[in-house]
Amino acid sequence: MLAKVLSDVLNAHLGTFIEDLDTTQLGTSIYRGELELKNMKLKKTMFKDSPLPFDLAYGQVGRIYLKIPIWDMFTSPLIIEVEDVFGLVRMKPTDEWQPNLQK
């Protein structure tokens, strides 16, 4: 049940950035308060509504590690480690730029 709840929370928050979030990677370590996701692709639509003049051509996150203090949440810190983030961006055509949003 804990894995299902955590899976829903991850999909709700990371699903906008991560393509095809594979929550089967959760495994049994979640019951110890540890979570590790590896080799995830970033969605190409990540910068779609951004005023920035570029798009994401390809992106990948090598590893996301979470240590959740399940039994003592109010006294211990939540630890989040993100490693090996890679992004390849390309310039948008000038007719797609939004100059009124840029400062």
Q: Model confidence at 46, in pLDDT bands (50, 70, 90)?
A: confident
Domain ranges, ordered by start, for the chain = 2-96
Average pLDDT, the chain: 81
Q: Is 57 left (phi over 0), alpha (psi -120 to 50) or beta?
A: alpha
| Residue-wise pLDDT tens digits, 4-43 | 777 777 778 787 888 877 666 666 566 677 888 889 899 9
Q: How far is CA 53 from CA 19, 33, 90, 93, in A?
A: 22, 40, 9, 8
| Confidence (pTM) | 0.71
Instruction: Please give the Cα distance from 39 to 46 (Å, whole number).
Output: 17
Instruction: Please give the Cα distance from 66 to 63 (Å, whole number).
Output: 10
